[in-house]
């Protein structure tokens, strides 16, 4: 599957590449990341391979990430329209200013204007709420986003890192009011973060939201570059984000990725990405490559086919503990569908149901 085999994002006509290029690593302002020149080389390679979906945010490397993307659009690209540029609002760049962040009208409009200035464009293709803002009514957020779409400053909208119940509320309000609906959901999702399968993924499938997972390699842990020996002394650029993920369970999964990648003549990173690509609802995982080598290796995951038995092994090794009532619902089949097959899914007989016609008759007759 080449990078130029595009897919529509959620319930929309927006065509995006099957991988999205993440730009959190663009700029060295945080002490790690790619230089401007390296970042432009990565963008050029991604676009040259057919990629058209690029994701950034207003606060990445203090706004420098957006500026790097904007410089490329201005200097290197013939047609701005050929790319799908996504950025985010919510994060504050001005300490002490209560309206510099969040999801209120004043903050969103200012963030949008500043992002367009840094990106050197007069519109944003996909504008994300970066994180749930518990202090702002969701009606205010959605009406402001609708206004930006109506004004032509934004084409599509999505939510990132927001609870399922609040995302569903926002979508229902938009539908009821005739406002611009959400088309996508950006969430952390990988072999090491599967709790989203409890509420967020089922919600996305139900509401028609395309899922663009961030950190599909869990900050590089699933690339296999970190070793079990001396795990407490790893040189990890992103600090606790990486070191906290270096658990015994993580290394069990990484060991399986190493074994499987040898069998498939691939790499642990490619196998981890290929596993994620086949999960329900996933449209375009976000690749955060810092080098051309990383980008090339990750994009090659589109050519990896994992046999069913190996997918099942990875599923079992990475099986998450889900919040109530997800597990309860998963085990409810026998009680609601006992002994039948519906939509290809078989349920065992209900162990608490009457065992015979006589027992059923006695229940109906009030004799039980």
Burial of 209 (0-12, 13-18, 19+ CB in 10 A): buried
Question: If you search the block for the tokens 């499987």, which residue do you land on?
Answer: 260
Interacting residues of 343 by C-beta distance below 8 A, sequence separation 6+: none
- Give the whole-angstrom CA distance, residue 182 versus residue 84: 16
Structure tokens at 318: 């990475």
SS3 call for 81: helix
From the candidates 60, 123, 189, 226, give the one annotated as an active-site residue.
60
Burial 146-182 (b: 16+ CB within 10 A, else e): bbbbeeebbbbbbbbbbebebbbebbebbeeeebbbb
Q: Is residue 72 flagged as an active site residue? A: no
Return the beta strands (E) in the chain as ranges: 7-8, 15-16, 20-22, 53-55, 84-89, 124-129, 154-160, 182-186, 210-211, 286-287, 341-342, 345-346
SS3 call for 308: helix
Beta carbons of 153 and 126 less than 8 angstroms apart = no
- What are the catalytic residues? 60
């Amino acid at each position: 599957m080449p990078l130029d085999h595009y897919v529509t994002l959620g319930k929309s006509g927006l065509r995006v590449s099957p991988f999205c290029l993440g730009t959190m690593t663009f700029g060295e302002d945080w002490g790690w990341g790619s230089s401007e020149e390296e970042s432009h080389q990565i963008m050029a390679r991604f676009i040259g391979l057919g990629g058209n979906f690029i994701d950034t945010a207003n606060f990445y490397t203090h706004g420098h990430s957006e500026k790097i993307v904007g410089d490329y659009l201005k200097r290197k690209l013939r047609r701005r329209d050929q790319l799908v540029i996504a950025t985010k609002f919510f994060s504050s760049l001005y300490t002490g200013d209560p309206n510099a962040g969040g999801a209120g009208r004043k903050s969103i409009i200012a963030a949008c204007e500043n992002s367009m200035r840094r990106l050197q464009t007069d519109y944003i293709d996909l504008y994300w709420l970066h994180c749930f803002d518990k202090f702002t009514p969701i009606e205010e957020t959605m009406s402001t986003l609708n206004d930006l779409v109506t004004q032509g400053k934004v084409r599509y909208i999505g939510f990132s890192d927001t609870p399922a119940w609040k995302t569903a509320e926002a979508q229902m309000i938009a539908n009821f009011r005739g406002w611009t609906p959400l088309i996508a959901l950006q969430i952390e999702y990988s072999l090491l973060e599967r709790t989203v399968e409890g509420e967020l993924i089922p919600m996305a499938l139900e509401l028609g939201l395309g899922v663009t997972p961030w950190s599909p390699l869990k900050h590089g842990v699933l690339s296999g570059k970190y070793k079990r020996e001396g795990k407490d002394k790893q040189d990890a650029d992103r600090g606790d984000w990486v070191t906290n993920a270096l658990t015994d369970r993580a290394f069990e999964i990484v060991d399986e990725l190493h074994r499987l990648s040898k069998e498939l003549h691939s790499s642990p990173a490619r196998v981890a990405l290929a596993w994620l690509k086949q999960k329900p609802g996933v449209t375009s995982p976000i690749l955060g490559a810092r080098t051309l080598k990383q980008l090339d290796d990750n994009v090659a995951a589109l050519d990896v086919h994992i046999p069913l038995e190996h997918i099942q092994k990875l599923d079992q090794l990475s099986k998450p503990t889900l919040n109530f009532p997800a597990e309860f619902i998963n085990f409810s089949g026998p009680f609601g569908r006992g002994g039948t097959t519906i939509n290809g899914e078989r349920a065992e007989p209900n162990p608490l149901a009457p065992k015979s016609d006589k027992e059923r008759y006695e229940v109906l007759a009030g004799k039980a």
